[in-house]
């Protein structure tokens, strides 16, 4: 038995013990006590929306609610707000009435001040979530991010216990879509005061206002439980009493747990997904996300030179990567903005399809650019390039492919791999301690600006230190012309073309999630853009 298989079997035994309380009695569960089991691929680092990233969003998306939520048609609908609001004052003011029956999991009412407190925390330049930039466009947010104003100056005001007003610096036609994102969830003002620095570090150190509350997470454990929130205003519509969530990074483990009826929804990839194509329980979900190599452009780093980044991009055989390594329906990516994110209303084409570069895979040109770049950067000897990434199996497999492909194509290049837990690599990347980071950008909402906003010079997601005045100017012009569709989408296309030329992020492949789903597990809403919604899920007999 191989080492991988042995480790997988040991993990299955451990996971099975954890899951037994949820799954062994599934056949005898009554209608009011349904329990399901799902998984995520990465560790949960925090439950503080102001200081947590991807997995934090996944967890809170099913246990918190903001002003709006996204329905099965991918459209915003009211959640804590009583209706979809139309802007006033030249499309720069939104005034929301909040549900008076919305409560936190301790029984306190959800108030406008809870939104004000949360947004002020999240917009601080020191917020660890990295999502402060997404507040750009709300009045004074850019000045706050630049350190020129205080968080209290943000254009969000409580006009009463259940009335919230938001003012913008300029019209934002996608503003209502933003209001469904976890970044704009409220935080209990009393919980922030009560728990202080402990807020969100364990599941017991915060309150929840959504369909479920999170329990059994101690800040480091690889599992937690969503339990039905008795104070949720629409609790009669919630069918599941509990959902067990486990961190599983290996597809073999996920597959085995699914076959043992220990998981109702298992994410798989690579060889496992390839071998199960055609399985009646397999669902492939095309997501609006792009896996990339984010280059560190700081002086002294091997990819600070533009031609060397262009060479790397041209040297990668993405078709072989997606067909032979991933084999899960993933498709090659040649642009930062993924397909399936948005349709250009002017050209009537998928935005990710209409902005493709002319050259995609050209080893001869890659070698030429590589040598020119090395000469410009005064690099005479071997170039050492470290690929950083998470320690899950598929990230390692992709890194191994890139290591082989790049070293074979480009002379005097030595590629090493560094795969560590998500928390470790995230800290290193935010501190600038990396050469190239293998990561994913998943669109937050259905507009290419969701990708473009991460590449501006002042973006808190710009970990590669990309500083391009031309791109920044195009981004600013797009915001200025946001209400003119023809100009807005023309500027978006120019921004994508600029990224194609300067290559701060090397696209690898577009995201496809392969799920093995229990045929009795119904009601999950899967969003091409955004996070899966398990809140109305249920089990049939």
Assign domain 288-513 to its CATH architecture: Roll (3.10)
Is the pLDDT confidence value at 540 over 60?
yes
pLDDT value at residue 10: 37
Q: How far is CA 404 from CA 152, 321, 352, 445, in A?
A: 51, 11, 28, 35
pLDDT value at residue 127: 81
pLDDT value at residue 377: 96
pLDDT value at residue 3: 31
CATH top-level class for 3-263+518-539?
alpha beta
Average of pLDDT values for 504-518? Answer: 95
- Mean pLDDT for the chain? 92
Q: Same CATH fold, 288-513 and 3-263+518-539?
A: no
Q: How far is CA 380 from CA 292, 315, 343, 376, in A?
A: 28, 20, 46, 10
Which 3 state secondary structure label does DSSP give 3?
helix
Structure tokens at 220: 């480091």
Give residue for tokens 């005479």. 380
Average of pLDDT values for 171-187? Answer: 94
25-41 per-position pLDDT tens digit: 344 355 668 999 999 98
Residues 312 and 365: beta-carbon distance below 8 Å:
no
Q: How is the chain split into domains, by residue range?
A: 3-263+518-539, 288-513
pLDDT value at residue 481: 81
436-449 per-position pLDDT tens digit: 999 999 998 889 99
5-27 per-position pLDDT tens digit: 333 333 443 444 444 444 443 44
Q: What is the dihedral of CA 337, 341, 343, 347, to 10 degrees?
A: 10
Q: What angle do CA 176, 177, 182 make, to 5 degrees?
A: 110
């Amino acid at each position: 038995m191989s080492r991988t298989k042995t480790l997988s079997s040991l993990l299955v035994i451990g996971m099975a013990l954890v899951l037994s309380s949820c799954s062994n009695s599934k056949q005898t569960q009554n209608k009011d006590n349904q329990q399901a089991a799902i998984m995520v691929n990465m560790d949960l680092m925090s439950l503080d929306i102001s200081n947590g990233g991807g997995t934090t969003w996944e967890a809170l998306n099913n246990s918190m609610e903001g002003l709006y939520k996204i329905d099965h048609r991918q459209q915003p609908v009211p959640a804590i707000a009583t209706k979809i609001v139309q802007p006033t004052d030249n499309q720069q003011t939104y005034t929301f009435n909040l549900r008076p029956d919305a409560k936190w999991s301790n029984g306190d009412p959800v108030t406008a001040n809870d939104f004000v407190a949360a947004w002020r925390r999240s917009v601080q330049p020191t917020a660890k979530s990295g999502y402060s930039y997404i507040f750009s466009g709300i009045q004074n947010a850019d000045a706050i991010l630049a350190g020129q104003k205080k968080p209290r100056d943000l254009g969000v005001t409580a006009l009463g216990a259940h009335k919230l007003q938001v003012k913008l610096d300029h019209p934002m036609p996608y503003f209502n879509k933003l209001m469904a994102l976890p970044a704009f969830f409220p935080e209990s003002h009393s919980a922030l005061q009560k728990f202080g620095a402990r807020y969100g570090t364990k599941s017991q150190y915060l309150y929840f206002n959504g369909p479920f509350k999170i329990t059994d997470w101690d800040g480091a454990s690889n599992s937690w439980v969503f339990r039905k929130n008795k104070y949720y205003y629409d609790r009669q519509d919630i069918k599941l009493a509990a959902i067990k969530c486990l961190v599983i990074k290996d597809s073999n483990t996920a597959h085995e747990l699914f076959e043992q009826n220990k998981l109702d929804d298992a994410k798989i990839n690579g060889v496992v997904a390839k071998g199960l194509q055609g399985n009646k329980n397999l669902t492939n979900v095309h997501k609006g996300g792009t896996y990339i190599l984010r280059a560190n452009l700081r002086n002294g780093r091997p990819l600070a030179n533009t031609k060397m980044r262009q060479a790397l991009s041209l040297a990668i055989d993405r078709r072989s990567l997606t067909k032979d390594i991933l084999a899960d329906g993933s498709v090659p990516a040649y642009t930062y903005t993924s397909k399936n994110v948005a349709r250009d209303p002017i050209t009537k084409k998928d935005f990710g399809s209409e902005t493709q570069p002319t050259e995609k895979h050209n080893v001869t040109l890659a070698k030429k650019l590589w040598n020119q770049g090395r000469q410009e950067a005064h690099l005479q000897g071997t170039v050492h390039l470290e690929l950083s990434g998470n320690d899950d199996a598929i990230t390692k497999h992709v890194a191994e492919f890139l290591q082989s492909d790049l070293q074979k194509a480009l002379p005097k290049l030595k590629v090493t791999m560094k795969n560590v837990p998500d928390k470790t690599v995230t800290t290193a990347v935010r501190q600038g301690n990396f050469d190239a980071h293998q990561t994913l950008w998943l669109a937050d909402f259905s507009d290419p600006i969701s990708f473009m906003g991460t590449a501006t010079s002042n973006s808190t997601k710009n970990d590669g230190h990309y500083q391009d005045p031309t791109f920044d100017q195009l981004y600013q012009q797009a915001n200025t012309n946001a209400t003119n569709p023809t100009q807005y989408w023309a500027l978006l296309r120019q921004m994508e073309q600029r990224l194609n030329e300067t290559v701060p992020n090397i696209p690898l492949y577009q995201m496809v999630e392969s799920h093995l789903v229990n045929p009795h597990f119904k009601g999950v809403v899967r969003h091409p853009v955004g996070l899966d919604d398990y809140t109305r899920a249920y089990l049939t007999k």
